[in-house]
Amino acid sequence: MQPVDSALMCAVMDQATCLMGLCSNLDLEDWRSLKHVYYVVVLIVRRQGSRSQLLMAHRSEGKYMVGTWQLISGGLEPDETAWHGALREMREETGLAPGEFYRLSTVTTFYRLDNDSLNTAPMFCAIVEEDAAVTMNSEHTAFEWVDVDEAASRLMWPGDRQAPDEVQTVVLANGIAKEHMRIPVYR
């Protein structure tokens, strides 16, 4: 590995860091290791009378975030659009297909230390039938339907906690943006 020119690093890094003399200790490969990973998140909702419930899934052993309750999510295939990836992940992980499907304006982003990656995910909302049968794949050990208004308190990440509010105020309450967020799906 070749050391990076200190002047180049100073142009990129915070001036205070360069003034402390830390730039000369970095090399180009270490500096450029951060990867950007795109994935998708789907909030699956069913109506139960006057209530709406959100599907949460418990992560399996050997999976990232093992033992936690999460929304349905997954990586994109090469050349796959985000909304197609969301439909695929939903089908693969739960066996469900939406009756209605929406893009949300909420996007979640976080850093993963284990693989030095910045992860960004557009979020989607899928409305399923009240009696839709969930069939979890091996990525999850269990599932639970949680009232949408309680879901935010059960979600770990700030970005994830914003999405149920958007589902309630825009999709379920027929907000003014709802029809502009609809994605036509055909069964």
- 127, 97 contact by CB (below 8 A): no
pLDDT of residue 27: 46
pLDDT of residue 140: 83
94-122 per-residue burial string, b: 16 or more CB within 10 A, e: under 16: bebbbeebbbbebebeeeeeeeeeebebb
Which helix (H) or strand (E) element contains residue 169? none
Domain boundaries of the chain, sorted by first residue: 1-33, 35-181
- Cα separation, 172 vs 170, in Å, equals 6
CATH code at 35-181: 3.90.79.10
pLDDT in tens, the chain (187 residues): 445 444 433 343 443 333 334 444 444 455 568 999 999 999 999 999 889 999 999 887 776 777 778 899 999 999 999 999 999 999 999 999 999 999 999 999 989 888 899 999 999 999 999 999 999 888 888 899 999 989 888 888 888 889 999 999 999 999 999 999 999 987 6
What's the pTM value of the predicted model, to 2 decimals?
Answer: 0.80
pLDDT of residue 29: 54
pLDDT of residue 181: 97
Residue 165, amino acid: D
